[in-house]
């Protein structure tokens, strides 16, 4: 069991996080639609989000959308499902993916700002 945990941690450390990019405002529209569909499918009574909802909520649902739809995060989870130690590496994997998302979108924003300045 210890060897499996070590291999699992090594795998999470070395696995490549693939990420696709979708520009704004398309990303926000997709994230809002998926969030609203998800809430509706579970029968939650709530106020629908829109592209004009609070920015902090939009940022959170966009990151969730990116993680589950524009990266290989869910495929990695499927690969490690049922292995001993998965619960311990899950937060490490999630943080690795979130860091990659932050870095990629930050890089895109900087490029956008440079293009506007030219």
- Using a CB cutoff of 8 Å and minimum separation of 24, what contacts does 52-56 make? none
Determine, yes or no, domain membership for 89: yes
pLDDT tens, residue by residue, 62-97:
999 999 999 999 999 999 999 888 999 999 999 999
Show Cβ contacts of residue 19 under 8 Å, excluding neighbours closer than 6 positions: 66, 70, 71, 100, 101, 104
Determine, yes or no, domain membership for 60: yes
* Mean of per-residue pLDDT scores for the chain: 89
- What's residue 45's pLDDT? 77
Q: Which of 8, 11, 13 is nearest to 96 (CA)?
A: 13
pLDDT tens, residue by residue, 8-30:
999 999 999 999 999 999 999 99
Determine, yes or no, domain membership for 2: no
Determine, yes or no, domain membership for 103: yes
Put simply, whether the predicted model's pTM sits higher than 0.75 gets the answer yes
Cα-Cα-Cα-Cα dihedral sign, residues 26, 29, 32, 35:
negative
Q: Which of 64, 97, 71 is nearest to 19 (CA)?
A: 71
């Amino acid at each position: 069991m210890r060897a499996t945990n070590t291999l699992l941690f090594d795998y999470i450390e070395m696995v490549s996080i693939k990420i696709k990019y979708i520009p704004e405002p398309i990303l926000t529209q997709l994230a809002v639609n998926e969030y609203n569909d998800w809430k509706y499918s579970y029968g939650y009574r709530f106020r629908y989000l829109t592209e004009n909802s609070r920015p902090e909520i939009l940022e959170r649902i966009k990151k969730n959308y990116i993680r589950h739809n524009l990266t290989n995060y869910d495929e990695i989870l499927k690969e490690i499902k049922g292995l001993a130690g998965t619960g311990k590496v899950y937060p490490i994997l999630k943080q690795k993916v979130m860091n990659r998302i932050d870095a990629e979108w930050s890089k895109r924003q900087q490029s956008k700002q440079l293009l506007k300045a030219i």
